[in-house]
Structure formats: structure tokens, C-alpha cells
Amino acid sequence: MARRAPPFEVDAASLPPLGMPPALFLRDYWQKRPLLVRNAFAGFVSPISPEDLAGLACEDAALSRIVAHDRGEDRWLLRHGPFPEAMFPTLPQHDWTLLVQDVDKWDADVAALLPAFDFLPRWRIDDVMVSFAAPGGSVGAHVDQYDVFLLQGQGRRRWQIDASAALGKGEPPVHFRLDSELKLLQRFTPTHDWILEPGDMLYLPPGVPHHGVAEDACLTFSIGMRAPAASELIGDFVDTLIADADDTQRYHDPDLAPASDANEIDAAAMQRVIEALNVLRMNDPERLGDWFGRFITLYRSAGEAAASELPPRIEFEWALAHGARLLRHPWTRTAWRRAGKGARLYVAGLDFTLSARDARKLAAADTIDGRTYAALSQRARDAVFELLGAGHFQLATPEEDA
């Protein structure tokens, strides 16, 4: 007897945020089928206001956009920030959306949403984008090539999706309109139509066409995933191999036999090409692991830490022992993996050889106090001090915390 298809809608009031154990969600929905989760965050109160979001969109370092729709001419307008503060009161009362990327890097309360998604590898999560939409505001029908969780923060938004593939009806058409710089779909035929209230959340796998329209003024939080294209992975890895390659290692043919056809690339030549490439150790799991750890902790980072002047180490350690804390830079990403008898810690493209215990602890550390620091090995403490100098940690005294 065939297993019954899982539902497209669940209520998570008794088991937030997914309405089911994470293992079940990953088995039945992750990268397979969309899911509307009612009450994913029951009683949700937005950690940021529309006014604060607009203020952030005025900052030079923030990545922000405004998408507006002229319904009469079916014309879409895209503008990039930063925006002047005086512009916002002049905007119309409907049909526009403000989107700001990486709000979790700017606002600790928004970042506090992320632990709810710890059933996923943290290095897979890209950012929390927050959008404010006036009534009727939308960015058009489109597809994303990454997983996304769309959490309704304020107001109501109508979401339509085309789940044809999950229903076994074939892949939906994904041809783009030619009259807009936005990648909008030429055709969109929804199979599901929902209105989300605050605390409701829609999960979409890659490639699912969707269209969201604000029923009233609303805020939406988009927790998006990092999904490097194969071309990006290959390109970066090959660049690393080239940078490390030894130019003395070359194609060679000491076993060359007289050519039967001087213009032919024969099977023996191709075998030598393969051997020349294998010298680069492209299939070395340790080398590959180190490259990926460095790559993924830098990939799609819109900001970076800046090196700072190091205090004398004795003064730094005295401060930690007397109530100071280290705060991880909001743009600094971390990950770790087991390697040999120990582990490797990756921090914004840097790597450190540590024990698994220390690597796990530092990868998870948003803050490090004196007790945590004292419990680390000497090698891990050395890594922390190096990361402080590189700007990935900042020293905060008790007076500054107050």
C-alpha cells in the first residue's frame, strides 16, 4: 500500500515551529514539497518596526531595495538603496515593497529568530531578509533557487504557490518576462492560495513559483538558505587548486610510443592528462573539506570584520577574568568539522586545527566570557586571540555592556 502524501498545511500550535519533529519535516518536505505552517510562532510579535526597517534602509552599508508596481500599465520599478529618509513620506499608500537584506546582522532581536531553525546546519542559513509592504505591495510571481521560510511578522499577506511538481503534475513553466529587470514569471498558475497571519510561516523548496501580495500593511521575515551553484563551487575550488599548484608538476609522457597518426589525441594521452590532474589531489577529502569550510564561511557575505589593534595579551586575559566578554562580529560566520583525530574550525575563511571539543564550542560562541575562555586549550586560546586581532571578536568591558 502506497504511503499517503503528506499534507500541504499543518498547525504547529502544539509543536512549534514545524508542527512535527524536525526529522519528519526533513524527510517529507525539505527540498521536496511546500508547507504552510499555521502558528509556527504563535503570538508572534515583530522584533522590528516598519519605521526601524526604513531607517536601516537609509544606511550606506545596508542592502536595500524598493519594488513598486504600476497596475495600470503592469510595469515594475526597482530602486536600490540607500534611500533618503525624506523619501518615505512621499511614497504612495499602496503597491510598493521595501526589502532589506541581512537584518539579522544589524539587529540582535531579529538574529534571535535563528535558533528556532537549529535543526538545519547554521552554515546553510544565509540571512534574515525583512520586507515591509504597503497594501497591494508585491515583488511579483517568481521562483527562488534556494530554500526559504517566509514568516509573517505583522499584518496579513496572501501567498499563492504553484505546487504542480509536488502534486505529480509536471514541472511548472519558469520563463521570465522580458520587460522587467526583475526575474518575473511570464505565466503563473497557482495551485494553492493562502492568507498568512502573524506567526504563520510558509516553507518553499527551491524552484517553486510563488507570489505574495500584502492584504494590508505588513512585515515579512524571509529566512533564506545559502545554496552555491555548482559553477561557483567548481570555480572557487579550481582557483584554490591553481593557487596551490606546483608548476614543476606537468603533463609528461616518458612511455610515449611512435604515433600512428600525428594529429590524434589517443587514449594513452588522455590517461596521462587524468594523471596530471590527479596530482592536484582534487579528490583528497581533507583538502576538499578545508577548502569548503573556508569557502562556505565567506560565501555571500555582504560585510566583513576589520582588523583591530591588539591589546597586550596579559591585559586582554586580565579583562576577561574580571568581567569583560568577547562578542563575535555579526558578519563573522563559523563552522567546524572533524578531521583526523581532532577537528578544524573555520571562521570567515580562516582555519584552525583544534580538538573537537574546542572547535564545537568556538563555532557556536556568539560571546566568550572569562570562564569559557579559561576552559579552552592553549591552542584554542591562541586562536581566539588571533581572531580578536582580525576583528572577528570585539572586547566589551562590563562598563560598555551596561
- What predicted TM-score, i.e. pTM, was given to this entire model? 0.92
CATH number of 9-225: 2.60.120.650
* Three cell numbers written together for 34: 511546500
What span, in angstroms and rounded, lies between the C-alpha atoms of 96 and 41? 26
Helices 356-364, 378-389: inter-axial angle, 10-degree rounding: 30
* Three cell numbers written together for 283: 579528490
The pLDDT of residue 282: 67
* DSSP element (H, E) containing 395: strand 393-396
The pLDDT of residue 243: 85
* DSSP element (H, E) containing 382: helix 378-389
Identify any residues that bridge with 338 across adjacent strands, giving them in sequence order: 343
The pLDDT of residue 400: 66
Q: How do 342-347 and 148-154 pair as beta strands?
A: unpaired
The pLDDT of residue 1: 55
| Sequence-separated contacts (24+) of 143-146 with Cβ below 8 Å | 143/174, 143/183, 143/185, 143/206, 143/207, 143/208, 143/209, 143/210, 144/204, 144/206, 144/207, 144/208, 144/224, 145/206, 145/207, 145/227, 145/229, 146/206, 146/224, 146/225, 146/226, 146/227
Q: Which stretches of the chain drop beneath a pLDDT of 50?
A: none
Identify any residues that bridge with 72 across adjacent strands, giving them in sequence order: none
Which sequence spans correspond to the domains of the chain? 9-225, 232-255+264-283, 313-401
What topology does CATH give the domain 313-401?
Malonyl-Coenzyme A Acyl Carrier Protein; domain 2 (3.40.366)
Instruction: Compute the C-alpha angle 78/83/85, nearest 5°.
Output: 135
What span, in angstroms and rounded, lies between the C-alpha atoms of 24 and 30? 9
The pLDDT of residue 81: 96
The pLDDT of residue 248: 81
What span, in angstroms and rounded, lies between the C-alpha atoms of 89 and 131? 17
Digit-coded pLDDT (tens) for 281-330: 666 788 899 999 999 999 989 899 999 899 999 999 999 999 999 999 99
